[in-house]
Amino acid sequence: MTQIEIHIALGTNLGDRRANLLRAIELLRARMQITRLSSLYETEAAYVTDQPEFLNMALGAQIDDQAMPPRDLLRFVNEIERRMGRERLVRYGPRVIDVDILSYGDRLVMEEDLIIPHPRIAERDFVLAPLQEIAPDLVLPGQTKSVSELARALPGIGKVMRVERLDIG
């Protein structure tokens, strides 16, 4: 059994957004040991802007890479989205929950439907702000800059506002 560190981003803009994030965390805990939770950040919608604002966050966790390799982790997070009622009607559209795998240890995964680290991390302030809070010095595979350096390089578009600190509890 080899424990590795992973990072996951969570986002929601439908229903009780805070409750959606807490439910997703609860479901994730069934298969991983969550070690760090970022604060909740309210953010403007990206890409498709005519929709409600999001609550976003990131978490760090330890998983057994033998019991849950990247493909199994993808199936697991997709199942959480399905169980919580996510419908994929419009790309970047409103959603009850979005669960993205940001990193999986030091692995690079390049498959048609699974890319790790997440390919758009460096352009997303709503991902970098919470990830920077829990892993500022993390250098993602394939990158040369830390998460903090990537965050500082963003041009400051969009609105990312910390609204609540969560307890790992």
Closest listed residue to residue 7, CA positions, set 98, 71, 103: 103
Active-site entry in 23, 64, 100, 162: 100
Rounded distance between C-alpha atoms, residue 55 and residue 41, angstroms: 5
**95 annotated active-site:** yes
Rounded distance between C-alpha atoms, residue 37 and residue 76, angstroms: 19
**86 annotated active-site:** yes
52 with 130: CB under 8 angstroms?
Answer: no
Active-site entry in 95, 120, 162, 165: 95
Active-site entry in 98, 107, 137, 167: 98
104: enclosing H helix or E strand? strand 98-104
Active-site entry in 17, 65, 86, 125: 86
Indicate which residues carry an active-site annotation: 86, 95, 98, 100
